[in-house]
Every structure is written in C-alpha cells, then in structure tokens.
Amino acid sequence: MSADIILVIVVGTALAFDFTNGFHDTANVVATSISTRAMPPRIAVAFAAIFNFVGAFLSLKVAATVGKDIVDSDSISMTIVFAGLIGAIAWNLATWYFGLPSSSSHALIGGLVGSAFAAHGAHAILGDGLLGKVVLPAVIAPILAFVVAGAAIIAAYSIVARQRPGPVNRGYRLGQILSSGLLALSHGTNDAQKTMGIITLALVAHGNISADHFHVPDWVVISSASAIALGTYTGGWRIIRTMGSRIIKMDPAQGFSAQGAGAAVILAASHAGYPLSTTHVISGAVMGAGAAKRVSAVRWGVAGNIVVAWILTIPAAAIIGGFIYGVTRIFGSSSAVGPVVVSVLILVASAALFLKRAQGGGGLEAAA
C-alpha cells in the first residue's frame, strides 16, 4: 500500500516536473519568434505547445538513456526517484524566480544522480553513461549550435545581400513559423522523453516493469506529452524576456538561423539518444547568430550569467536531491510519509515563490 502511494506521488511529481519543464523552457522555443515579431506572443506559445505535444511521440531513445544509462536501475527505489525529481523542481523554481534560463534536463539528471549517490554511494552512478551521454554532449551541443547558427547566418546574409530589407524580413518571418514549429517539435521530442524515462524508472523500482525489458508504456508517453504541452502553453514570460531581447536583438534572418540550427542539433541528438539541454542549445545558437553578425551585438554579461547557471545546475540539483533523500529517510526508507511531507513543503514553497513573483520581487535586473 505504501509503495503504491509513493508510486502515485512519484508519477504526480514527475508530471509536475514535466509541466515546469515546459513552463521553464517555453523561452527556448518562442523567444526568437517573439523578438523578431514573426508571431504574437500568445500565438507563439500556443503554437509551441501543440508542437511540443506532437514531438513527444516521435522517439523514445532519450527516455531509454535516462531510464537505463545514468543510474543503476536495479539499485533505484521510488524514494530515490522522488528525491531526484524534487531536487530538479527546486532548482528549476529557483532559476525561474531569478530569471535565469538554466537547464531543466540537467537539473533532472543532477537531482537523480544526487539522490542515488546519497542512497547507495558512487556505485549506483553509471559514470560512463553520465559522462558519455550527458556531460560531453552538454559541452559539445551549445558549441555546435553556436558554430552552425553562425555559419548559417553568414550564408544567409551572403545570399540575400543587396536585397530590399522589407521583403527579405517578411520572408524570414514566414520561415520562422516553420523553424519555430520544428524547434518546438525537437523540444518535445527531447525533453518530454526525460520525464518518460523517470516515470518508467519508478515503474521498474515498483516492479511493474522488468529492468531487463525496459519499455515506455503508452499512458506514460501520452501523460508526459500532455504535461509538457500544458506547461509550455502556460509559459514563462520572464525568461522569454531574457532569451528574446536581453542576450541579443535579432533580425528575422538571425531568428530563422538560430531556430533552424537549434532544431537540427536537438533532433540529431535525440536520434542518437542524448538527453540534451534545449536551453543550452538554443542559447548557443542565438549567440552564434548574433556573434557572426557583430561580436559586440551579444550581451556577454547576460550570456555569462547563463553560463554560470549551466555550470551550477547539475551539482546544485544533485545536492538538493541528496538532501531531499536524506529528509525522506527520516520518516523510514519505505514509508510514504516522507514523500508526502516533502511534497506538501515544496507545494507551499512554490506557492510562496509564485506569490512573491506576482508581487514583483526577485530577479536579476541588477546583475544584468
């Protein structure tokens, strides 16, 4: 009975995380379209939500990586998965509150690694998988997106050089409808799968699925797709402002190049099963498209804040995940009381942050 309650809490928490992932990452998908006025904000967000939902059904390779290749699924309990999720949600809320576009994906992986480490020590962590499928792609992907977007915008400018800017901008704005749809699709493909992997990992720990026959049930796919789409629609307006205008002012050609490069990198990585950070990729692409035109056009101070958040994400979420695991253990390793108490506390903390945010507190205006 207690295990069933924990499973329900874990699934609910995972879907809540998926919602915050969509909420937090809306900026990745829509910022450039809004910044270049290719689409009105509300339409851009609705468009992104629909394509996020569709994208979640395209592939399951990333879900398999999250479920099998980062922590040892045989030594994972539902409490560990729960603590990892709370670590990720807490970090996501903190970076949302301060307007920093950190990585939900790395927060999730960091939280899971931290709670698994707290429970079983280093042997529960699959170091090769963590390094080869998370850390190295995390370093390579934004650099690749930066280079691809930079090369793409140089090619675009050389092709449309000496043309009247009015029709050219209109053309690229139309193109951005396609490129932002593709970016939303790629976001749904990569990010929704992480939640699918986490829920499936909990089902393995509960005994519903064998670790040797890892597969993602249909209801997990549909619920994860719905949660991320709903989160995306709800949107994160504060982060949209950071991504859309505080990093760089873009023209429609740059927006198209950045979105196209971002989508290409995320889709290629999803195909290979790498759980990438869509935030890292699109930030790299936006900076690449800006720097290729004029290095000083990129607001490197804001970009620096983003890089600091990237570096902090996995360790910070890991520390919180480990701490939460310790808190839940106080109430007993297989008791549902710990997850219930922590869930209530995180709900109260979230409500307080939302309330303070609504009243206009917090933010990084001074730092930017």
List the x/- string, 84-123, binding to other proteins by CB under 8 A. Answer: ----------------------------------------
- Enumerate helices (H) and strands (E) in the chain, giving the number of each: 14, 0
Q: Are 293 and 157 in contact (CB under 8 A)?
A: yes
Helix (H) or strand (E) holding 200: helix 165-206
Q: How far is the CB of 59 from other proteins (least distance, A)?
A: 5
Q: How far is the CB of 265 from other proteins (least distance, A)?
A: 4
User: For other proteins, which stretch binds (CB under 8 A), given 10-18, 104-112, 125-133, 226-234?
Assistant: 125-133
Backbone angles phi, psi at 71, to 5 degrees: -125, 155
CA 225 to chain centre: 14
* Residue 53 engages other proteins in binding (rule: CB under 8 A): no
* Residue 134 engages other proteins in binding (rule: CB under 8 A): no
Q: Would you call 207 helix, strand, or coil by DSSP?
A: coil
Q: How far is the CB of 273 from other proteins (least distance, A)?
A: 8
DSSP track, 11-67:
HHHHHHHHHHHHHHHHHHHHHHHHHTTSS-HHHHHHHHHHHHHHHTTS--HHHHHHH
Instruction: State which of residues 8, 42, 128, 351 lies at the interface with other proteins (CB under 8 A).
Output: 128
Q: Which of residues 149-168 bind other proteins (CB under 8 A)?
A: 149, 151-153, 155-156, 159-160, 163-164, 167-168
* Residue 319 engages other proteins in binding (rule: CB under 8 A): no
Distances (CA, A) of 84 to 106, 201, 280: 11, 12, 21
Distances (CA, A) of 331 to 70, 133, 248, 325: 27, 34, 49, 11
Q: How far is the CB of 39 from other proteins (least distance, A)?
A: 17
* Residue 182 engages other proteins in binding (rule: CB under 8 A): yes
* Residue 268 engages other proteins in binding (rule: CB under 8 A): yes
Give the footprint of other proteins on this chain (CB under 8 A).
58-59, 127-128, 131-133, 136-137, 140, 144-145, 147-149, 151-153, 155-156, 159-160, 163-164, 167-168, 171-172, 175, 178-179, 182, 185, 189, 253, 256-257, 260-261, 263-265, 267-274
